[in-house]
Structure 1
């Protein structure tokens, strides 16, 4: 296995582990505060953490870059996080939210194929079917517990926003677009996202944080997971392609369920473990279909 393959495997594994943990922060925060309050403070603290890179953004990014990063930030952060947090507040289990959002690979691959005027290969179709079966196995226990069907529209909307943002991010990472440094671009996106979240929280009277430690634990967890996962997400998107990063999301339902075990104290569900294995096979199959595709690395200088 080459060094580049090892690096891609490590990036992918790190992305799955960190991305999955974010669903738990939403579920924990929903127990202590209004979803608008949780989202506003998570976005505000994230913007403060990344503020040191804003001067670099002002120096390196032109007006077009700012607009593009704002669009990606609204789609991949503001709307995505809003859907996940609102779903947690509505009682959608973390594993089920991860299930719905991890259906993104099918949307990304089909959308990219239609845009390029090409058909999906047999390997891609098989991988999509296998991955969908894997995530369904992982979440079946949660769905049996009585999750209301209409609430699934929240993570579904989050998935669609993330899908569109991912495709735009990949397109704008090409040489014909603008290759912008990672941390300055995240700083711009976080600033826009914070403005978006606060803009909704203030009129609703939901900006004041509750005086409970659990809320700040959820915010801190969300900020740490958010900055790490979005950084990894954009790196994998730029270096390995939108199709690659999307297939990795098939692993998030099972890994999210495993993340939840220390909090719930429950024995790992057999279906969750089976789903992890099936999803892993789907990732391997879909990754095989992307290895021969041309990927243009993007050097992030953040």
Structure 2
């Protein structure tokens, strides 16, 4: 059962990058994101009275913190992912760059949170970033249409997610998952609606591919990824979840190659193997803390 849940989590998480690619040909990034989150936010707000117990004790300060976490971990992160993919960066490369977030967060935990960071963790960070560079170089050299600056955009999203992770890590009383999902999705719905209206991109296109992409993202990426994330987290713990997150890059790369004929040659495979080696090094070099706090919620990391 745990194996099936783990496999489902990796597939649902990877589906977010594929869904972004699926919708990229029919509408702009802000249009897709607006229509992904607007109906979802309305649905979650409508069901909030049925989970009122989860909202009790949530102070205005805690609510404001969740709004900020949502802005960083969902709005900023996802906008970077979608813009990069829309400008031609392959879904696999984008997934690999964003998948380096736990490595970067682990390395920065030392100077920012005064936590012990081992040499193995630093080595893992260097390996992970090396893998990112190798794959990005392979993508750029494959004749892709993406301009050079587009490969920097996923890094902005990744660092936005890192900032949200540290903000969540300093929260003494984390919000329940249902509350966090509602707040984050509502914030994203407002942000992307304002952006879409400001650039006159709010009207959805008539193409069926657009609504297929939106449905794909809501069902597979948000509800599927979010729900399975917490289930696996409860059954298997944070360490296993973080390890599974690193599998999304190779899965997304293979999926994108099969579905969209994105480039996936020997150099890309080499870069992904380096990234997986980085995961192994980090886990071997991790300090012996018995339990760690979960990374910033799930919905957030989910593209």
TM-score, normalising length: structure 2: 0.81
1:116 to 109, 113, 126: 113
1:35 to 29, 35, 39: 29
Are 2:262 and 1:251 aligned?
Answer: no
Unpaired segments of 5 or more residues in structure 1? 1-5
Moved more, 227-236 or 275-284: 227-236
Unpaired segments of 5 or more residues in structure 2? 298-303
Return the offset for 1:14: 4.9
The structure-2 alpha-carbon separation of the partners of 1:80 and 1:59, relative to structure 1 and needing over 3 Å to count, comes to same
Conserved? CA contact 1:113–1:120, under 8 Å: yes
Distance in 2 (CA, whole Å) between partners of 1:258 and 1:86 is: 21
1:214 to 174, 194, 209: 209
Deviations, residues 208-263 of structure 1 (Å, cap 9, x unaligned): 1001110011111112203443456678889956x886665443332211121331
Task: Classify the secondary structure of the residue corresponding to 2:170.
Answer: helix
Deviations, residues 55-88 of structure 1 (Å, cap 9, x unaligned): 3354452212211211111111111111111112
Are 2:196 and 1:201 aligned?
Answer: yes
TM-score, normalising length: structure 1: 0.81
Q: 1:44 matched to which residue of 2?
A: 38
Return the offset for 1:26: 1.0
Q: 1:229 matched to which residue of 2?
A: 225
Conserved? CA contact 1:42–1:222, under 8 Å: yes
Are 2:259 and 1:263 aligned?
Answer: yes
Q: 1:82 matched to which residue of 2?
A: 79
Return the offset for 1:15: 4.3
Moved more, 152-161 or 208-217: 152-161
Distance in 2 (CA, whole Å) between partners of 1:118 and 1:296 is: 12
Conserved? CA contact 1:40–1:198, under 8 Å: yes
Matches within 5 A, 1:39-188: 39-55=33-49, 56=51, 58-117=55-114, 120-144=117-141, 145-146=143-144, 147-172=146-171, 177-188=172-183
Aligned length: 288
Return the offset for 1:266: 7.0
Q: 1:279 matched to which residue of 2?
A: 275
Conserved? CA contact 2:90–2:262, under 8 Å: no
The structure-2 alpha-carbon separation of the partners of 1:84 and 1:71, relative to structure 1 and needing over 3 Å to count, comes to same
- TM-align CA RMSD: 3.2
Conserved? CA contact 1:24–1:94, under 8 Å: yes
Conserved? CA contact 1:105–1:247, under 8 Å: no
